[in-house]
Structure 1
Amino acid sequence: MICSVVVLAALSGCAASSDSDIDSESSSGDPGTGAGPGIDDIGGATGGELGGDFTPGATPGGEEVDCGRQNFDVERKPASILLVLDRSASMLDDPSGDDGTPSKWDIVVPALQEVITATNASASWGLKVFPQGHRTGSCSAESFPSDILIPIAMNNASTVNAAISSTEAEGDGTPTGDAIDTAVEYLKTIQNDDPKYILLATDGDPSCPKSDADEFAVQAITNAAAAGFHTFVVGIASSASKIEALNDLAVAGLEPRQDPDPLAPRFYLASTKDQLVTSLQTIAGQVSTCLFPLSAPPPNPDHVGVFVGEQAVKKDTTGADGWNYTGPDMRTIKLYGSACDQVASSGAGSVKVIFGCKDDPIY
């Protein structure tokens, strides 16, 4: 779900000017084009880059100033999700493990494509499939995953879905650990502050390497979490051993399915298409970010107000409950705690950010 943030920027660095000052410094009479500080002086951005029309403002005392209020919309920063999709031949079995219909592949593919399309604007998707090749032999070197099929990108749903449609479940073996290791190496190359996740869709037991495949896969997902990439696990299990394997992977990924029943599966269920769609929608909701990029850094970083609806959100550098900049460039803010929860429930359109001039009240 893409939402907009209305940013009201009362641009600072704006000394009060008399009428004579304005007349002498701007032949056009436009207070935004005089020699004094104006919108072009803010972080190198022009009025066109920020969007909207520049309008004059006033100090609390009523004096005209060379800056004013600027309204523009920005979009919530999307999460990055790398789908790691199991295409082993066992995905052609039905959920009971027999050669029936619909197959696990027939359940997983349309559900994935439906949710990827629905979240195209709120998530940047990429795709990794495993194992690779056809009739290469179970756990052969040729079947080990070695590349990313579709790199993560914004508005990538049609590309990812086309690649899924052209993929067939005909691989030998299930090298889950190798696939996750490859995913992590790829995610490390993406140099931005977008939150990044792995979505593992599989039907159960890893099988490569043959000696300790389960432990190897769990360790790979543990290492991914340690590197900052949590893993959501969605799966179709047809036996107790497969349920146990999927549970272990889900717990290691640090994003297990929440259920008050301690005996319930910890992975997200995919026994039917509708069930999988529900699971994937839950995951998409959990990864929705509370990150909001700004077109330019605030002219006065210590005089910024953030509101969710009419409720003021205070700056909190601890990241517990409030808002803060995500980096020294001050081009993205993040909401934490109850403020983020409120945005998730009410929509990001309820968020308002004010860039205040030095002496303007913002709260």
Structure 2
Amino acid sequence: MLRASSIYSVVVLAALSGCTSSGEAGSGSGAPGAGDTPGYGDVGGGAGEPGSVPGDLGSDGSASSAGDGVDCGRQNFDVERKPASILLVLDRSASMQDDPNGDEGTPSKWDIVVPALQEVIAATNEAASWGLKVFPQGDRTGSCTEESFPRDILIPIAASNAPTVNQAISSTTPEGDGTPTGDAINKAVEYLQTIQNDDPKYILLATDGDPSCPKSDSDELAVQAVTDAAAAGFHTFVVGIAAQASKIKALNGLAVAGLEPRQDPDPDAPRFYLAATKDQLVTSLLAITGEVSTCLFPLAEPPPNPDHVGVFVGEQSIMQDTTGTDGWNYTGPDMTTIKLYGAACEQVASSGAGSVKVIFGCKDDPIF
């Protein structure tokens, strides 16, 4: 179930790099202090018993004076979880007027996509900040002409933007010539790079298959654009309506390159999110928006040592998992946001954000 954005009180205990060799922390005797948290060893790596965090923090974030000495300075941060920013890149090429399977009398691709998008965008108005870009531009201007290539962001990303985005979608018609997917993604990245905040940012590409512009190497250029977007820090989720094998192959390539492929134990299953029916697309979109908005925790600053970080939910320690399957990992090379996956994410969704804590260990001393 999707949940509205809320403030997560993520306690970040930053044991910064000014460590001494005393091995003492908190009470100095190894006994847990009044503010100890179960599940972790002594941050200083010295006298504390396993399963304790040394001492209390003063109101200014400094270590308590309960003991004879403190081996690391600490700061206490209250972090507000921010909603993910999602730029919808919507294919409005004329082929979106076709039905998905070539059957007469069935809803067109456009008639499936539009109401599903609008339903999910409205439902996630508080959990995500939405924006909209459509491609190609112009109506019947000629396939792959300069006039058809996407240039503008129709609706910039903003908080509580669902009504504006949905109105713009309602005003959009599938009348464009050609499918310049690569150019649309490149323009999306140019726009996202102008947004000066630390909110996690994603591209949601909704299309019906093969890129067709430019007329040569369009598939390769589209995959390269999505690859470059991911390298710039903007992962791409791909939602597609496709029945033909060639289009499924193209969509799979885009989904994998975007670093957010659909997870399925069946190796032959599509890697993109399916949209053969409205209900199926709603399910896919809810999975995507739930993934990006539920378990992301911005940190006030990168850790002194990225390998000396502990994360736990309640009293349960969570191990780092770089595969993104079950545990936690950094979302990017700046290491200023962590993301929970699998059972850890599900537990946070059910128990509330106040149960999540992150501990930064000393630069030279691991937490455990």
TM-score scaled to structure 1, two decimals?
0.69
Letter in 1 for 2:109: K
Over 3 Å counting, the alpha-carbon distance change for 1:156 and 1:307 in structure 2 is same
Over 3 Å counting, the alpha-carbon distance change for 1:306 and 1:339 in structure 2 is farther
Are positions 1:267 and 2:282 aligned together? no
* Residue 5 (structure 1) shift: 2.8
**C-alpha distance in 2 between matches for 1:306 and 1:147:** 41
Are positions 1:245 and 2:254 aligned together? no
* Residue 59 (structure 1) shift: 8.9
- Aligned equivalent of 2:160, options 155, 163, 168: 155
**C-alpha distance in 2 between matches for 1:147 and 1:168:** 16
Q: Quote the residue 2:91 is aligned against.
A: 86
- Aligned equivalent of 1:123, options 113, 128, 133: 128
TM-score scaled to structure 2, two decimals?
0.68
| SS state at 2:8 partner | strand
Q: Quote the residue 2:8 is aligned against.
A: 5
Matched residues, percent identical?
72
Which 5+ residue runs of structure 1 have no aligned equivalent?
Answer: 10-37, 43-57, 62-71, 298-304, 356-363
| SS state at 1:199 partner | strand
Q: After superposition, give the CA deviation of every residue in 1:62-99 in whole Å (9 maximum; x if it has no partner).
A: xxxxxxxxxx9975211111110000111111111455
Q: After superposition, give the CA deviation of every residue in 1:218-253 in whole Å (9 maximum; x if it has no partner).
A: 111111111111111111013111111111111111
Q: Quote the residue 2:345 is aligned against.
A: 341
Over 3 Å counting, the alpha-carbon distance change for 1:176 and 1:354 in structure 2 is closer
Q: Quote the residue 1:213 is aligned against.
A: 218
Letter in 2 for 1:308: V
Q: Is the 8 A contact 2:205 2:238 kept in 1?
A: yes
- Aligned pairs for 1:139-288 (under 5 A) are 139-288=144-293
Question: Superposition RMSD on alpha carbons, in Å?
Answer: 4.3
Q: How many residues align?
A: 306
**C-alpha distance in 2 between matches for 1:123 and 1:147:** 21
**C-alpha distance in 2 between matches for 1:240 and 1:7:** 46
Letter in 2 for 1:346: S
| SS state at 2:131 partner | strand
Letter in 1 for 2:210: D
Q: Is the 8 A contact 2:313 2:344 kept in 1?
A: no
Q: Is the 8 A contact 2:211 2:218 kept in 1?
A: yes
Q: After superposition, give the CA deviation of every residue in 1:32-64 in whole Å (9 maximum; x if it has no partner).
A: xxxxxx98x89xxxxxxxxxxxxxxx9979xxx
Over 3 Å counting, the alpha-carbon distance change for 1:259 and 1:308 in structure 2 is closer
Over 3 Å counting, the alpha-carbon distance change for 1:279 and 1:143 in structure 2 is same
Over 3 Å counting, the alpha-carbon distance change for 1:143 and 1:100 in structure 2 is farther
Over 3 Å counting, the alpha-carbon distance change for 1:289 and 1:185 in structure 2 is farther
Letter in 2 for 1:93: D
Q: Is the 8 A contact 1:3 1:348 kept in 2?
A: no
| SS state at 2:214 partner | coil
Q: Is the 8 A contact 2:348 2:355 kept in 1?
A: no
Over 3 Å counting, the alpha-carbon distance change for 1:243 and 1:343 in structure 2 is same
* Residue 290 (structure 1) shift: 3.9
* Residue 322 (structure 1) shift: 7.4
Over 3 Å counting, the alpha-carbon distance change for 1:111 and 1:162 in structure 2 is same
Over 3 Å counting, the alpha-carbon distance change for 1:59 and 1:78 in structure 2 is same
| SS state at 1:4 partner | coil
**C-alpha distance in 1 between matches for 2:236 and 2:328:** 27
